[in-house]
Amino acid sequence: MRWVVVFLGQILSFAITGTGISSEFAARSGVDTSVIQVFFSYLLISLVYLIWFIFEFRKDNDVKSEAHHLLKTPPTTNSSNYRWVFWLLILNSISDVAANILVVKAYQFTSISQIMLLDCFTIPFVVMISRCWLQELYTHTHILGMCLAMVGLAILVSDDVKKVIDGSDGSGSDPFKGDVLCLCGSLCYAISNCVEQRIMTPKDGETPITRVKFLAAIGSIGTILSSIVVFSMGEMKTTGWTPTTAVCVAAFSICMLGVYSFVPIYLQLGSATSLNLSLLTSDVYAVVADTVLFHKQLDKRYFGGFVVIVLGILTFNYQSFARIRACSTQPHVHKETLP
């Protein structure tokens, strides 16, 4: 099961890289599609999962009606049991929409490699929120895995720092503004990831919400929130639509659909912390894409950083997540009692 988590993490990593590539292509075409990309992503997610949800709802109702008819019992509903998740869905949607808009907007001011690297600040934010709110306890194995992954990240960052010092980074029109947007987006992503983990792993007595219901809700709320931003800013009218722009928006939306489809599965098997550690490999994929598509120079240290990051991911996933959650439900268990 733990190796399934590792494999699933790399699928997500490739999908995240796809969103970065399409965003940079759109930015290089001279068109700001940041908000529109996010809007169409949520629209696609809502359409896919609302249709899926309606199909499942009708199918379940037919089965329940037949069962109640045979058993001669009145149908029941448990819709009130989902009240616990309502405000969490709202918080998740707001933080997620904000994160997507901030990070995609950053591509207008800086490069894909810098964004992917700065986006890794999601990890310390996630660790703090998971420890304080979700009350997760990390064993020595998990801490070692996180440290190895961060060392690998440091190796990757060292190359970009060198390029900035040399003035050869080609980082965009306003790197500082892009960095600030990306860091704010990282915090919003951390909040979103932790809230989603809380939703997908309900406590005893809480009615679990299915992945289809969750994504239908997130897609619908996200579409509403992002549409408000799009139409208030007049993005639809001001955007110069070209075939390249349309392809970039479509590619971004499809990649985001893949990300949103698999993240809930990942969080049920793993955790928000392991998810963000796994996504560190997208930094390397992004740098390789930068080199192949945009002809940027590739430093050999990236491969060394990639190896160390993968080693950290494997080390972290060596310990069962069920063990973390079992311990986190016992408030009097001390860290020293964990192997």
In this prediction, residue 320 carries a pLDDT of: 56
Record the tokens describing residue 31, joined without a space. 């068109």
In this prediction, residue 338 carries a pLDDT of: 39
In this prediction, residue 6 carries a pLDDT of: 84
Instruction: Note the pTM of the prediction, 2 decimals.
Output: 0.78
Closest CA to 313 of 130, 145, 118, 83: 145
DSSP 124-163: HHHHHHHHHTS-----HHHHHHHHHHHHHHHHHHHHHHHH
In this prediction, residue 323 carries a pLDDT of: 46
What are φ and ψ of residue 17, in 5° steps?
-60, -40
What are φ and ψ of residue 219, in 5° steps?
-60, -40
Per-residue pLDDT of the chain (339 residues; tens, 9 = 90+): 567 888 899 999 999 989 888 887 877 777 667 788 889 999 999 999 999 999 887 776 655 554 455 555 444 444 445 677 888 899 999 999 898 888 878 877 877 667 766 777 788 889 889 888 888 888 888 889 888 888 887 777 676 666 655 655 555 567 778 888 888 998 999 999 999 988 888 877 777 788 899 999 999 999 999 888 888 776 666 666 788 888 888 999 999 999 999 999 998 888 888 888 888 888 778 778 877 877 766 667 777 888 888 898 888 887 655 445 544 444 434 333 333
